[in-house]
Amino acid sequence: MARVIQKTDLEKNILPGRIIWKAVGKEGPVVSKKMTVGFGDYYTPDVGPMEPHNHAEECVFIVDAKNATFRYGPEKDKLGEPQPLLPGMLLHFDELEWHVFEHGEGGFVEIIFIYGQVDNIRPEEIAKK
């Protein structure tokens, strides 16, 4: 059965540097055993800057962005040069690849994130495999 999901109807999950709205997945409003999908906003002063992080393989669709960049690399302290984030981009991060979204004065990033799994998303879960 088709489901229509409005971001405004979802519960906010406030994390360091971002607000996440989980839409599809384990324990989501739309339960799936195969995928995790949600929204993320990176501009709210209340949540501070995002820290570099890693997790399961991920695709990120940039819904909107202004004065924003991303960096990625093999280790938390070995990220490459900033690259611009532009609306309409699709980014793919390999499993456990370090990455971060950053923005300057008045900047922001709005995304849709997609994982092809519902378990073993966080590094501590992946390590238990």
Residues 6+ apart with CB under 8 A from 123: 54, 55, 96
* Tens digits of pLDDT across the chain (129 residues): 898 999 999 999 998 889 999 999 998 899 999 999 999 998 777 777 888 999 899 999 999 999 999 999 999 999 999 999 999 999 999 999 999 999 888 889 999 999 998 877 777 777 655
Report the number of distinct structural domains present in the chain.
Answer: 1
Amino acid code (one letter) for 119:
D
- pLDDT (0 to 100) of residue 16: 84
- pLDDT (0 to 100) of residue 89: 98
Structural domain containing residue 47: 12-126
- Return d(Cα 107, Cα 68) in angstroms, integer: 6
Within 1-129, strands assigned E span: 12-15, 18-25, 30-31, 36-41, 58-73, 83-84, 90-93, 98-115
- pLDDT (0 to 100) of residue 129: 53
Cα distances from 119 to residues 12, 61, 71, 91, in angstroms, run 20, 21, 25, 21
Name the burial class of residue 120, with classes exposed (0-12), middle (13-18) and buried (19+) by CB atoms within 10 angstroms of its CB: middle
Report if residue 63 sits inside a domain: yes
- pLDDT (0 to 100) of residue 32: 93
Report if residue 4 sits inside a domain: no
Report if residue 55 sits inside a domain: yes
- Return d(Cα 88, Cα 91) in angstroms, integer: 10
CATH number at residue 16: 2.60.120.10
Nearest to 53 by CA among 71, 39, 32: 71
